[in-house]
Structures are given as C-alpha cells and as structure tokens.
Structure 1
Amino acid sequence: EQGVPVAQRVFKDNYLRPPFIQPYRCKRVLIEGVTIRNSPFWLINPVLSDDVIVRGVNCVSFGPNSDGCDPESCNRVLIENCLFDTGDDCIALKSGRNNDGRRLAMPIQNVVIQDCVMRAGHGGVVLGSEISGGARNIFARRCRMSSPDLQRGIRIKTNSVRGGLIENIAIRDIDIGEVKDAIVINFFYEEGDAGSHLPQVKDLHISHLTVHKAERAFLLRGFERAPISGVSLHHVEFKQAASVGVLENVAQIDQVDITFNGSALTL
C-alpha cells in the first residue's frame, strides 16, 4: 500500500502463513485425486497461471482463512468433482488486491466450476474480495451446497478500495440445502465505500437455483453512487426462507419465475 517496489518487499523475519499449494506463473497445471487437511492458509492458490485443472480433490480444513481453491489472475481454469468442507470460502476467484491488482491488471477469466460439493464455509462459489484486476467469463453448474455452517451460497464481495469489473458470469443448476444467506452481492465488504474505484457487476445470470432452507434469500448491498445492476434471476426457488433479506441500492434485476415459500416473488 506504500508503493514499495516488489523486489524490496523482503521480510527478514517472515511469519506469514503460506498457501498449501501455490502454482505461480505456471502453464498446464493438473491437481487431481488428493486430499488436503489442516492448511495454514488457502489450500490451493494458482496464481498468474494458464490451463489449470483441479479435479477430484477433497479440501477439508477449518483454520483461519482456509479457503478451498482460490485461482488468482488465471486464465482457463476447470474445477470439477471436488469436495469442500472449509473454515472460509470453498471456491473464491480472485485477481489481486487494491493497487497490486490494478498494477498487474490480470483478470481471473474463462473458468468452469462443475459437479462440486460444498459443505461448511463462508461461501460456496465466491468472487472476491481481492478482485481489483476484474473477473470475466465464469461458468458454474451442477454444484450441491448444504451445511448449518455454510454462511453464503453465491457470493460477490468487494468495495471501492478494491473495485473490479465483474462481468459475464453464468451460474445454473445449483442445489442449496441449508445456508444462512443464499445470494450475496456486497459492495461494503471490509472498508466499504472508502475509495475511488467503484465495483461494477455486468451480465450476472443465475438460473435454476433451488434453496431448500435459508435464513435470508438475499443480501444485495450496492452504493448509492454505484448501485447493483446487470443481474438476472431466472427460475429461482426458495422453498423455506425466514426472510427475503436486504436489498439496498439495487438499480435493476431481470426476474423470471422467482418463488419464495411457495408464492411468486417480485423484487
């Protein structure tokens, strides 16, 4: 944050918790058929890498920041047939934090997530919060999520310090058993509206999503000067939800066939 050149960012005594597996600037990465337990930090964190496959991996870790799989500023990523039972986000797509993310300007892009199971975690399929380089062309399908300890199903988190353009996101055929908040888009994550880099969401399509039990269906919080728009919800069913939740500074949602506790819902 102080603008120190990367080559000078050397700590004599380094006590930072490392990711468990971190392919860095790699090409053609395959991580398959392994189980990772009790990681000190994020479990799998490919960075600035191309053509990454994470397949048939069990991520079971409940320590601090124990995200399951966090591809960061990668291009062409496939995550499939994996199990996530974590103390933080199950899958979190990232592209750098604040000025470092904008300096590299490498979005996380062309990602397919399919046939995964999410249990405990802060979020199931997540974008952010380190998303300053942007995200585009993300496709998630046929995932099953459920746990009393699953805090959020679909989650986007950012703020005006991190910013980021999030565009062309398609999420479909998702079954959520039990969750606290089903769909979250939060521009007030951590610092909130404390910077000049306004986040933007464009062409986010969620379809054929079934939520069996939730405390809140939605937590959508945009800025008054940058409301949430570009979201479509088609064929979304909340079978048993305690409340619709929070919708704050939401400019536009394209809605088709949303049901809430057995009745049609118009947001």
Structure 2
Amino acid sequence: MVVTCRVLNSLLVAVALLLVANAPEARAADAVAVGWDSAPDILAAIEEPTFPDNDFVITDDAYEGGAEPGGETDCLPAIKAAIKACNAAGGGRVVIPAGEWFVKGPIHLLSNVNLHAEAGAKVQFSNEPNDFLPPVLTRFEGTEVYTYSPPLYALDQENIAITGGGVFDGGADDDHWWTWKRERGDINKLREQAESNVAPEKRVFGEGNTLRVNFVQPYRCHKVLLEGYTLNRSPMWCQNPVLCTSVTVRGVTVESHGPNNDGCNPEACDGVLIEDCVFDTGDDCIAIKSGRNADGRRIGTPSKNIVVRNCTMRDGHGGVVLGSEMSGGIENVFVEDCYMSSPNLERAIRLKSNSMRGGYLRNMHVRNVEVGEVSDAVFRINLVYDQPETGPHVPHVSNVTLENVTSKKSKRALHLVGLPDAPITGLTLRNCTFAGAKQPSLIEHVEDLSLENFSMPK
C-alpha cells in the first residue's frame, strides 16, 4: 500500500498503524536485518595502525637540506624525502613542527608512515592546480578518473596515518578551485565516459581541466588513522577514504565552507569509525557513498559497517547522510551520541538517491542524538533527489531506525519521499520528540512505518 499524506502528529500515528498492518513481504533487495547488537563486533574488527617509535623531522638536513618555516619556501621536497626515509626504515612519524609551512603540490603517504603535524603547525598548500599534476587515480563525485592529485593522498598503502593538532589549509577560495563549481564541461565529459564504459585508465584529465580535487583521500588502503588535525578551505570534499578497510577518523575538526565541502565521505569502505569530530561545512557533514551510476555498479563495492559517535555537526546540508552517489549500496550504519544544531544546518539525518543511481540503503540505526535546530527536516529521505528524469535502477531503502532522537526547531519533522515502484520500507521512530516544526510532515510512498512513543509538540 502506498500512502501520500500531509499530517500532524495525531494523524501521523494513525497512518503509521495502517501502514504496518499492510506491510508487504521483504523485497529481494533486502538482506538480513542488522541491529545495534552488531555494532560491538564491527568496532572490534576495525584495526588501527601502529608505528615504530621513530621520528623523521622535516627540518633535518638529511631531507633535501631540511624544510624552512615561514610559509614562503616550498617544503614539499623535504616532506617527500622524510616520508621515503620513514618508509624505508620500517615506519614511524614524519613530524611537521609548529610553524608555517608552504607545500607546492601533493603529499603522498607510504605504508607505515604517520604524517604528524604538531599543534601550532600550519601546512599551507598551493592553490595552483598544475602543482597537483601529474594525474593520479582518484574519484570525482563517485566516478573514477585520472586527474589532479588530492593534496593529502595515498594509493594502495597499508598502516598509514595523518595525526597531530596542526592545521592543513587547502588554499581554496572564490578565485581558486571553488570557481570551478560553475564549470560543467569536464564533469559532463567524465560522466559520459563512465556511462559509455570507457576504461578508467583512459579517463585522463590533465592540465587545464576543471575537476576539483578532494582534500584527504586514502585510496584502496588498509588500516588508516585520521586524527586530531584541523582542515580549512578544501577544494571539494574534505576527507574521502575510497575502497579502504579499517578506517578511523577521530578528533578531527573541519571548518571549510566552500561548495561541496563535505566533512567526511567514506566511499565503498568496509569498517569505519568516525568519532569525537566537529564538522562546520559548506555541504554535508558526513556523507556515506559507494560510487555513482554505471561506475558505482561496475565496481560494485558497498560502504558498510560504519559507526559514527560523539560528533558535533554545525553548518552543513545534512548531519549524517547516506548518498547520493550510492550505486554500490550502503549498509550497516550506526550513529549515536551526536549533537547537531545550526540555523545553517539543513537536516539532521538524510538519505538521498534516485532511479538513475540504483543500489540500496539498509540497516541504518540512529540513537541518542540531540538536534537543536535545522532549517529543513529533522529526518529526510528523498528517492527523487536531483533527478530530472527517471531511470531503471530504482533504489531500495529498508530497516532504518531512530531512537531517542530529539529536536527543538525545524521546518518539518519528517520529509519521506519514496518511489511508486520502490516505496520506503521498515522505518521505526521510537522515543523521539521533534518539537517546533513549522510545517506538517510530508510522507509519500512509504510502507511499514512504525511510530512508538513519537511526538511533535508545537
């Protein structure tokens, strides 16, 4: 049964009971339901990297004469030499001391290296795109491509980390990187190549292209730790682990308000912990992804087994978001003990997809989350997101629970929009209070909605 309704609290409860009574059999796209009792095993399986007690300080003369502070001399040669020496010696920390350091190009990590920027260190990256060539394998909005290197990057490495209390500044502004937000030619070309099954190694975008880079990107890496630093002025997505296993993001502060400046986007990763972080961003605070359209289906790797806890979300399009590039599927996501609030935070929990993307979103569980205010809906699912046309790859959403979630101010409590041929199933809101909603909730094409001790006081 498909229901379209605009309701206040009492009518919403009645509709939920009717939907439960008419719930269909589970679809083939749905897997076995996974609940909170699985979270401890997921956390136990995430391995953190460990490093020998060896420091390789970038000011040491052994590394290309040593890096010079002050923010004017290029320190990249010294950093690259220290990373190479650290890796050759079996691992340790490459230490960036307090001070200002200019880096004219990308830093590529190697196995067993912990890049450690001490408190008081500011690493200022060049904002000249050509400094980030030659092209490397990366992803642009969920599509594989060879283009500019992310400023902090690793490919096929193991046991790596970026740590410390320092600041990494990408140098992006309205005159550098961000202005390419309006340039669609190379984006459209890349998407056409992916839809036409052009091999990734032939999707090469070199000098003069306008594909912005993500800031921190470990690609196909195992045992990754991102901890303690601050990120400013990212060209695009701030942190984007891709096809990684055992990723820990802890105590990171993201203050970056450019276009598409998502705070942390695990993509096609297995085993991710994001905890004790602060996100103040120009786009989603956390957005879990798994590839876009044909390219996501070609790789076919879901994001799964992800825990988010004890984080603070300020400005952003969404607090914790699934999608929209999720063609490989997303499952087993757990969110707890977070605080989300800002007049510039649009939604708290958000799932977004469309029938060009396909894939599935299942087994997402949220509990003990306090929302001060959001400008749109507290809980939003939209399966017609950014979709000028319909496609054959309908997404499926199932087994999503919110428990002990409170909100004080919003436009709507709920905005839940499924598809006629793929209604949203298996939603449970338990012990939730969404107060101060200015407009009625919107529910379209939803089946099997359960509201238990749910209220929406004025």
Considering the TM-score relative to the shorter chain, is it more than 0.5? yes
Distance 2:216 2:231 in 1: 9
2:318 pairs with 1:118: no
Which amino acid counterpart does residue 115 of structure 1 have in structure 2? N
Distance 1:244 1:177 in 2: 19
Which amino acid counterpart does residue 218 of structure 2 have in structure 1? P
| One of 185, 189, 196 as aligned partner of 1:2 | 196
| One of 296, 301, 308 as aligned partner of 1:101 | 296
Task: State the Cα distance separating 1:132 from its structure 2 match.
Answer: 0.4
1:1-267 equivalences under 5 Å are 1-13=195-207, 14-180=209-375, 181-191=377-387, 194-261=390-457
Distance 2:312 2:391 in 1: 36
Secondary structure of 1:7 counterpart:
helix
Unaligned runs of 5+ in 2: 1-194
Distance 1:213 1:228 in 2: 25
Distance 2:286 2:198 in 1: 30
Unaligned runs of 5+ in 1: 263-267
Which amino acid counterpart does residue 99 of structure 1 have in structure 2? A
Identity of aligned residues (%): 48
Secondary structure of 1:100 counterpart:
helix
Post-superposition Cα deviations, 1:203-230, rounded to whole Å, max 9, x if no partner, equal 1111110001111111111111211111
Distance 1:45 1:238 in 2: 32
Post-superposition Cα deviations, 1:29-76, rounded to whole Å, max 9, x if no partner, equal 001000001101000000000000000000111100000000000010
TM-score (norm 2): 0.56
Distance 1:74 1:151 in 2: 26
Task: State the Cα distance separating 1:192 from its structure 2 match.
Answer: 5.7
Aligned residues: 262
Which amino acid counterpart does residue 249 of structure 1 have in structure 2? H
Larger Rg: 2
Distance 2:337 2:298 in 1: 35
- Which stretches of structure 1, 4 residues or more, deviate above 4 A after TM superposition? none
Secondary structure of 1:241 counterpart:
coil
What is the RMSD computed on CA atoms of the aligned residues?
A: 1.0
Higher share of residues assigned strand = 1
Secondary structure of 2:419 counterpart:
coil
Distance 1:105 1:117 in 2: 31
Post-superposition Cα deviations, 1:165-209, rounded to whole Å, max 9, x if no partner, equal 111111111100010211000001111661111111111111110
Distance 2:254 2:218 in 1: 17
Distance 2:448 2:389 in 1: 20
Q: Which has the higher contact order (CA 8 A, sep 6+)?
A: 2
Higher share of residues assigned helix = 2
Distance 1:212 1:193 in 2: 36
